[in-house]
Structures are given as C-alpha cells and as structure tokens.
Chains A and B, each alone.
Chain A
Amino acid sequence: MSVKRKGPRATAVRVATYALLITVAIIVLFPFVVAVSTSLKRNTDIFTYPPSLVPRTVTTVTDPDLGLENATVYELPGSDGQFALVESDVPVAEFRRIDDPEVIIALPPDQGVETDRTTVVDGDEETIYLVEVDGSEVEVFRARLTVGGLFQPLDGEGDSESVVELVNLATPERVFGPRFENFSQVVTEKNLGRSLTNTVLVTIAVVVGQIVTSVLGGYAFARIDFRGRDRLFLLYLGSVMIPFVVLIIPLFQLMLQLGWTDNLVALIIPFVFTAYGTFLMRQFFLGIPKEIEEAALIDGASRATTLWKVMVPLARPAIATLATFGFLYAWNSFFWPLVIINSGNPDNGLLTLTLATLGGRSSTDTNLVFAGAVLAMTPPILVFLFAQRYFVENSASSGLK
C-alpha cells in the first residue's frame, strides 16, 4: 500500500501509522531495556516497588571531621536533610501516638516522661508517656523496645545532635549508579566464562562444518548429474519434515554407544550435516550460470578446483546466510544440550544451559543472571543486525525456520 497522498487527512494517517509502529517497537524493545537495566542493578534494587528502569545505588559519605567512613546516607521521615548511619544497633523505644497509633515516634529509651495515667490499646493497658514533637508535647504509649540506627545529620553546623530512628523507616538515598561488576562477577564466580568459551567453540565448529558439508553436497546436487540424484534429494527434502523430537532419543542412545555423552563433541558432529544447508547451497548454485564453471572445466581444472576457485567465491552471499543461520542455531540451542550435557558438570556447560540453571526456580542473584542473559543475547543480536541483508531475504525465500 502506498500512502503518498497529501493533505491534513493523509498527515493524520501518517502520524497514526508511525504511532502504531513505534508502540509495537516499544513493546518489542521494552523487555530488553529491562534486561539491560536489571543487569546493571544491585540485587536489593531489583526487588523494590514500584519497579524502576534506573539502576540505583545508595550513596555513602566519608568525612573525617564527623568521624564517618563509608557511611550510608539516609533520609528520615519527618526530618529534612540527609543523615549518615553511624551505628546500626542502638536501643530504641518505639512510641506510638495515642490519638493515632499509626504514627511511630522513635526515641532513645531514656527519653519520654512517664505519667501515671494509662490507656487501653488493642485490649492491652499501656502507660502514657509524654514526648516532645516539634516543640509541643504529645501523648504516646511505648509499643516496644527494640534496636534502631543512630543517624548523624550531614548538613547541620557540625555539632547538631544525632537522631535515633528505626532503620526500616529510614530510606537510603539512591542515586543513579550502574553496577558493571555484575558482568565480571557472573563470568568468574558463576563459571559463565567457561560456558562462554565452550559456546564459542561449539558455534564455530558447527558453522564451519555446516559450510563444508553443505557446499560439497549442494554442489553435487546442483551441478553433477549423477544417477539417483533426484531420489536422494527427495530424501533430503523429506527429512526436513521430521521434527527434532523424533530424533532426540535415538541420538542420545547413539551418543551413549559412542561414549560422547557429556562431551562437547555431541553438540558438534551430529549437527554439521544439515539438509537445510544443503538445500540452501543447491538453490544458490543452480542460479549461477553454467558457462562460468564450464570455462574452467574445459581449461582442465578438476571439479574440486572449480568448486573452490570459481563457485565458492561466487556463493559468498549464500555461505554468509548459512553461517548466520548456523550461528544462531548453535548459539541458542538448548534442548539437545540439556539432554546430552551432564548438568552437574560446569566444565561442559553452554551459555544457555548455565543460564537456565542460574536463572532457574531457585535463583538468588537475579542481577548476575541478567548480566549473563545480556552477555548471551548480545552476539546473536549483533550478528543479526550486521548480517540482516542475508538473513531477512533468505528466511523469507527459503522458508527456513
């Protein structure tokens, strides 16, 4: 549909169109934004409500004059300005107002004037105390004695008095602060580094292997008119119909016989023979004019030389497509590695496997899991963006999925 009309109506349509497209783009990209932000957060920062996209960190203050070293900065209810936590387990009396028991007033236990009057709160008789709040006396009762924090005002004149407050009422001041250590930590501590190198190794091997077998097979199917060729090709085409679930049990049994279980070779060798790739290369070779090749053959070059020197350079776009598909398949594969790689052995883990274990039902370090997920997702996305031309055109025309 070509929307190339002019006028206010056309402009409105155009604006609405872009609004729709941008909305969908936001729906697509938002989870990735969440992933990147979570991968840069502290773990405590992830489970706060409302959720936030900004990775935040608490601020600390170091001031020798006040005797502070890396003290966390807080904001306190009912007080302006910033406070530094000096001590975290000082005794605190938690008072509540008689007229409004929801209001908590935390004071040192020795403060508050005890009266001889009592009141009944939730069926319990409580002694009434008098405390001073903002210059006026308030009637309160003592709910409990507990421990709280001692907070030092930061913007006072230096000798302003410290304040006692329940720590859970104090909110640490958070400022923007991404935590890049998540990445190094997940690579070293969670053994994701080994999974990363394993995944790189498997991916390279699968891609190279697929290219070699597919170029040879595709060339044979496209250019050499041998007996039984069409029947064999039909067999290859038919194999595409068979889903991987049918293959998984016998292939596991085969790996068992070969002694390849829990070894990276089981992720490589069975997957370098691909009917898809052969099909893709055949289609491309069929499109190359025969004259180009025949000229070389008449000059006395062998088939192998012709293939290597003439056909392969021409087939670079198809090889790039095949490499992209092979890369995405090998990098993202999960089901087969899950079956064949022993989950207890971190040395043979792949990114997908290790991530699934880390991010599983009992995951604790969510920030590290997300750092790992971002590491795992970046290469395929980059490869897709760079190889888009091959990828988009061919996924549509050859129906690879």
Chain B
Amino acid sequence: MVDSISTEPAPVALDAEQPNSGPAQGLRLVVGWHVAGAAASVAMMLLANRSGDEELPATIGVFLRVFAAASFAAHVAAAVGVSQRRRWGRTVSLVVSYLVFVVAAVAAVHQLGGFTAIGSLGEGLSKAVVPFIVVAVGLLWVLVAGQIGASRPAAPGPRQLRRAGWVVTGIGSAWFVVAADPTGMLSAFFERIVQPVTIATLVLALVAFAATRFMWNREIGRIFGTTASVERTLTGLAFLSPNLLGFLFFFAGPVLFSLVVSFYDWKTTGTGRSFIGIDNYVEALSLDFASASAPGAGVEVLKANYQVLMHLDWFGQNWVIGARDVTFWLSLRNIVVFLALAVPLSVLPALGLSSILASQLRGMKIFRAVYFIPSVAGVIGVAIIWGQLFQSTVGWINYLIKRAGDLLPFVDAPDQGQAWLSSNSTALLAMVIVFAWMSFGFNTVLYLAGHQAIPKELYEAAEIDGARAWKIFRRITVPQLRNTTFYVLITTSILALQLFDIVWILSTPQPGGPDNATMTPVIALYNEAFKDNNRGYASALAWVLFAIIFVFTFAQFRRDREGATGGIA
C-alpha cells in the first residue's frame, strides 16, 4: 500500500478542487483502508458471537463486541468523511488510524513475546554485568564530554573525547550482546514472527501507520480545510497520547473495573461470579451491639454470622460489640490507634527541628540531609534493621533501656527483655516508632519549605520587641506554618492509613500478628485478595479504605481552594 502511493504513475486529476493528483490517489486508498477496516470489524463481531462464552471469558467477549462495534462505526464514519472531504473527515480518519496502529503494534509486540522478553532480559543482564557496566561508563563518558564540549564548542578535544566515549559504549554493547547470549530469545522471536496471526497484525499496524502518516500531512489538512485550532488539538493529543493511552489502560480502566468487581461475589476459585449488589460492603461494615447480662458474654447474644469484636463496660452495663468481619474492624481500630500515635510523633519533631534548621546556623544542610536519609533508604531494609534492634534478648533497644535503668533511678527496666514484636501490647507501638523514625525527616523538609514563606519582618519586629525564642516560636512560627502543618498532617495520615510494608516485615508470627495486634486494613485486604482469593470482597475493602482516605484528601482539597480564593495566602 505504501509502495503504491509512490510507484504508480500519477493519474489525471479528477477533481477540480485538487490540482495535485497525489493526494487524491492517496485519499482514495485511505477510504479503501477504512472500508476494509469496517468489514474486518464486522468479521470480528461475527467471530466473537460464534465462539460462545464457554471459550472466551465473559468479560473479554463483551469487550470484543463493544470494541468491534465501535471500530465498525468509526471506520464507516472515517470512510464517509474522507470520501466526501468533510472537515471532520480527516480528524476521524486520523484518530481511527492512529488508534488501530497503536493497538495493532502493541498486539504484535505482545504476540512476538516482546513484553515477556523483558523477563529474559533480566537473565541476560545477570550474565553480562561487566559489559553492562562498561556500557554505562561509556554513556556517562559521552554525557560528561558533551557537557565539556557545550561550554567550548570550538575546541576539538572534547569532540574527540566524546567520540572515544561512543567507541567505549559500542564495544561494551557488542560485548554485552555476546555475553548475554540472545540466541534463545532470537529463535523464539523467529518462530513467532512466521505465524500468520502475527504477520497479519504486523501488516495491519504498518497499513494503519501509513494511513496516519499520510493523513497527518499539512497538505492534506489544507484539502480538508482543517482550522489551526483543530490542528493544535491533534498535535496536543498526539504528544499526550503515549501517556494518556497508558493512563487509561493501566489506571482509569482498572479503577473502574475495581468498582464493578466490588459489587460481585468474585472468587478466583470455583465458577461463582455473581452480582450481589452492596452485599460485600454490608459484610465488611456490619456491626451489632448487644447488651449482655454478665461480663464476658460471647457470641450467643449476637445475631447470626456475627463474631465478638470487643466488650464494653459502659455505666455498669455490659455491652458486646460484634462484627461480621472482625479482622477488618480490628484493622480499623489498629489503624486509628496507629494514626493517633504515629502522626504526632512524626509531625511534632519535624515542626520543632525545622524551626531550628531554618535558622542560618552552620551545618544545617548536613543535618537536613541526614534526617532525610531514612525516608529514602527503602522500607524493607529499614524494617529488617529495626527487627534486629527490637530483638528481645540481644537487641539494642532493650539493652539501652537496661543501661538507662542502671544509670537513672526512675527508669524501671524489666529484668526480662521486652519482647517488643511478639507481645500484643507493644507490637503496634514498635510499628509506630519505625514509621515515625522513617517519616519525620521528610516532614521536616516540607516544613522548611513553609518557613521560607514566612516574612522575615515578623521575626525582626519580634526581636526588636525583645521577645524570647519560645514566644516567637509560639506566636509567629506556629501560626504562620498553619497551612504547612495542615498539609503535613494530611499527607502523613494518608500514608499511615496505607501501612503495609513495615508490618509485613516486622510482625510475627504472621503478617498482622500477634493475634491481629498489628493487623492493618491493607494487610487484611491483601489476605482477602491473594490468600483467600476473594477478589470481589477485597475490592469492596479497597473502596471502603479509599472512602476513609478520601475524607483526608478532600479536606486538603477544600483547604487549597479556600487558600486560592482569598484565604490565608
């Protein structure tokens, strides 16, 4: 198709409006392509109808039909629009061709195993570490030489240096290919590329690409009378498209799907996937309050399917609170306790320290950097370290408490080392300590940015008045940092609500233990989704958690709006 545009002799112009016959010929081919596309869409529809639901999962069948219908409509519209030289014809044709090109190209790469080959690339890299380093050094060399060359463009030295860098990179790449030994990958590639489905997809991708390229031309735009505004929209969407398509496919689509799934009884085992309305949410959130005559009354006073969540002694009356999903409710209780402890512990030190660091004393940048390190070091490594520090017999925490007990009479160190992580009463506290330790440095930096916005005159005036440091801190710094404090509180809370990694590593004997003392909503969700394979219910839990998080997000959003519309700037 591409060749025919250039090799066929130009026919005599048929249409008086188009003096140039090349475009007319090309446009006829584009119309042909859209007609063929429409026909293929019909075929796809028939195919999807014929292969029953037994062969294809229901969702894919529905998806295929919707896709085929949309494709048919779009191709027909494009064919009509282009052949009648409508102003919108070019736009529709471009969008359709481009989307077909992307889908076909991605599908071709998928069929060729190009995506899963990344796994094999991991193997290749592990075999060719040294050449890989050579390549990296070569590229760095080129980069540095380029920087030197940019400052002195006339000098021949940097250019030769840069060329040498490319040589190193080239040698390294060749060595890498030899060492990584891609023969297995290549043979798999050739095996797949000769399959008819793959070839058809590749041809489709090429045709769609050619059509897009052709229609993209400004010349063609003039024929269709495309306005500058439409041209801009097309350009903008073209630039945005890699990002936008990925965003829709890997984010927006899945999020909507998750919402749908949360209304289903969707288990991976067995066949039962039925719509059950809000039952998942009811199951997750149901509570039952019952008054009990005797303390310690159990499940017998609760409704069926309810288990005891907690006992309450309220004004002499015994209450039993039951829940259908006790684990989830326990996780909610834990996370509330966690928030109440961890958020102040990671925000208040940040407020105080940032006020010191904001002064222009020497060495402040070093302290700032040091405090920041825990938040970048990686939570798994950090959790492993703290696991050792919390160790009951030889851990540093117990040792230091014991030493403090020897030195200070008021510190009462127990003889037996505290089993921080395996004791119900301290496990969550241990998580609080690790979280606060990890996040206070980040919050300090956020506060430092807030400090920069405080007018210096306020401090100067206060100093002239002879105010003490503490008074300045309370009367000027804290009120001026109100917006920052709000932001820091919200972001830290949102982070804390999703607590997972620290607990996953540190809790014992299983994640969330002991006795659910460190169970968090996300761990409960993980267990439901990937241990019990209860995906519908787990999705509902995710949306409940989202609703809780959204309260915080929304508060921040409201505050931002107020700030923007004349609140405290």
Q: Which residues of A contact B (CB under 8 A)?
A: 1-3, 13-14, 17-18, 20-21, 24-25, 27-32, 34-35, 38, 46-51, 193-194, 197-198, 200-201, 205, 212-214, 216-217, 219-221, 224-229, 232, 235-236, 239, 241-254, 257-260, 263-265, 268-270, 272-273, 275, 278, 303, 307, 328, 331-332, 334-335, 338-339, 347-348, 351-352, 355-356, 359-361, 366, 369-370, 373-374, 376-377, 380-381, 383-385, 388, 391-392, 395-397, 399, 401
Contact = CB atoms under 8 A, between A and B. Distances in A.
A9 B505 CA distance: 48
B297 to A, nearest CB: 35
Interface in B388-419: 388-389, 393-396, 399
List the 4 closest pairs (A to B, CB-CB), nearest first.
Answer: A226-B236, A396-B449, A273-B246, A217-B243
Most chain A CB atoms below 10 A, which of B235, B254, B437, B510: B254
B247 interface: yes
Contact of A269 (B250, B394, B445, B500): B250
A339 B535 CA distance: 13
B446 A396 contact: yes
B505 A272 contact: no
B268 to A, nearest CB: 9
B529 A248 contact: yes
A130 to B, nearest CB: 39
10 contacts: A2-B463, A51-B394, A246-B258, A254-B253, A264-B122, A278-B243, A360-B505, A369-B384, A381-B377, A399-B446
A32 B441 CA distance: 15
A68 B529 CA distance: 61
A392 B376 CA distance: 11
A2 B459 contact: yes
Given A1-B459, A225-B236, A201 B121 contact: yes
A35 B371 contact: no
B276 interface: no
Nearest to A335: B500
B67 interface: no
B166 interface: no
A32 B385 contact: yes
A242 B255 contact: yes
Contacts of A212: 242
Given A246-B546, A265-B116, 6 more contacts: A227-B233, A253-B254, A273-B250, A361-B510, A373-B380, A392-B445
- What is the interface of chain B mostly: helix, strand, loop, or mixed? helix
Interface in B499-555: 500-501, 504-505, 508-510, 522, 525-526, 529-530, 535, 538-539, 542-543, 545-546, 549-550, 553
B199 interface: no
B221 to A, nearest CB: 14
A205 B546 contact: no
Contact of A226 (B235, B356, B367): B235
A245 B239 contact: no
B125 A303 contact: no
Contacts of B395: 51
Interface in B118-135: 118-119, 121-123, 125-126, 129
Interface in B254-281: 254-255, 257-258, 261
B237 A226 contact: yes
Contacts of A29: 370, 373
B200 interface: no
Interface in B360-391: 360-361, 363, 367-374, 376-382, 384-389
A370 B385 CA distance: 8
B115 A260 contact: yes
A249 B361 contact: no
Most chain B CB atoms below 10 A, which of A49, A212, A246, A361: A246
B23 interface: no
A213 B241 CA distance: 9
B538 A273 contact: no
Given A14-B361, A217-B239, A264-B122, A361 B509 contact: yes
A392 B372 contact: yes
A83 B150 CA distance: 68
A26 to B, nearest CB: 10
B126 A197 contact: yes
A245 B522 contact: yes
B561 to A, nearest CB: 13
B110 interface: yes
A248 B545 CA distance: 13
Contacts of A331: 378
Interface stretch (B190-198, B314-322, B487-495): B487-495
A244 B385 CA distance: 26
Nearest to B449: A396
A270 to B, nearest CB: 4
A25 B349 CA distance: 12
Nearest to B378: A332
A254 B237 CA distance: 25
Contact of A328 (B255, B376, B538, B543): B376
A60 B247 CA distance: 63
Contacts of B370: 25, 28-29
Nearest to B492: A401
Interface string B474-498: 0001000000000100010011001
Contacts of A236: 247
B252 interface: yes
A384 B505 CA distance: 24
Contact of A401 (B367, B442, B463, B469): B442
Contact of B529 (A34, A224, A249, A377): A249
Nearest to A31: B385
B394 A352 contact: no
Interface string B323-358: 000000000000000000000000001000101111
B253 to A, nearest CB: 8
B372 A239 contact: no
Contacts of B394: 46-51
Given A25-B367, A269-B250, A401-B442, A226 B384 contact: no
B60 interface: yes
B556 to A, nearest CB: 9
A8 to B, nearest CB: 16
Contacts of B368: 392
B254 A254 contact: yes
Contact of B236 (A224, A264, A339, A388): A224
A249 B384 contact: no
A359 B378 CA distance: 14
A377 B377 CA distance: 5
B122 A355 contact: no
B150 to A, nearest CB: 9
A193 B477 CA distance: 50
A356 B380 CA distance: 7
